[in-house]
Amino acid sequence: MQAKIPPELMRLTWAVKMLREIEKGGDIMKALKSNRYFEEYVLTIEKESGKAVDDLAAEIRAIDDPGERLIMATRYFVLPILPNELQGMVKERVEKTAQEIRTIKSPKTMAIKIMSALLGIDEDAAEAIVSLVM
């Protein structure tokens, strides 16, 4: 019997994939299209930012500070896809994590910190999830 993954966890996992794509300079549209809510998310992101998704991703990638990149990517690519009741909590955790990741060089360690912050879980559990995504 296969366990059913809650939709909130799927959204957050997808959001971390998006952050990772932005971080490594990948194809944002390809990552967006990997989600079944693609068109809805693109419209939401473009409405929120006032910019095309690819332009916005390029602008975020150009930010030197990894903490600021995380905050901006979260603002435009993560918060719009989360239910309203989770947005405040996630924003607060991301801002705290942004301070911590400014010194981290490993993309995997950074992804673990981000996932831990987004889900409010310990880093061991986040590492297990990140290992599945990466």
Residue type at 78 in one-letter notation:
V
CB atoms within 10 A of CB 7: 9
Boundaries of every domain in the chain: 7-133
Indicate the pTM of the whole model. Answer: 0.65
Q: How do residues 106-125 score in pLDDT, each as one tens digit?
A: 878 888 887 787 777 888 88
Distance CA 103, CA 59 (A): 21
Interatomic CA distance for residues 133 and 4, integer angstroms: 17
- The answer to whether 107 and 20 have CB atoms below 8 angstroms apart is yes
Q: How confident is the model at residue 9 (pLDDT cuts 50, 70, 90)?
A: low
